[in-house]
Amino acid sequence: MEDNDMFKRIDEIIQESIRPVLRADGGDITLMDVSGGVVTITLKKTTVPTTFSKFIRTFNVPRECLCGRGAVRVASVREGILNRLKEEVPDISEVVVARDI
């Protein structure tokens, strides 16, 4: 899949199934770039991780990667996003968080 086509498909997945979950917990995500299977995003950290914690567990992120009551770790979020995106776009090799706020 070409990078431009992959960007469009990944953005659709983010808009439909990842962003709403992040926003429900006070966070957000923006797709910045897709190049050679590497997806670059920015994240606004969640403040109440309840919804997103459940979401990333469904994509096989180990429970020990999730913190309890504080903000969800960026590594856990990145891993959950990578697993979710790879379900529909197997060519993805990595998700890089360019900035988290």
**11-63 pLDDT tens trace:** 999 999 989 888 877 788 999 999 999 999 998 876 655 566 666 655 555 44
Query: Tokens for 81?
Result: 């996003």
Distance CA 50, CA 52 (A): 6
Instruction: Quote the pTM value.
Output: 0.74
Alpha-carbon span 34 to 62, nearest angstrom? 26
Burial of 78 (0-12, 13-18, 19+ CB in 10 A): buried
- Give the C-alpha separation, 3 to 66, whole Å: 31
List pLDDT tens digits, range 53-79.
666 655 555 444 444 444 456 667 788
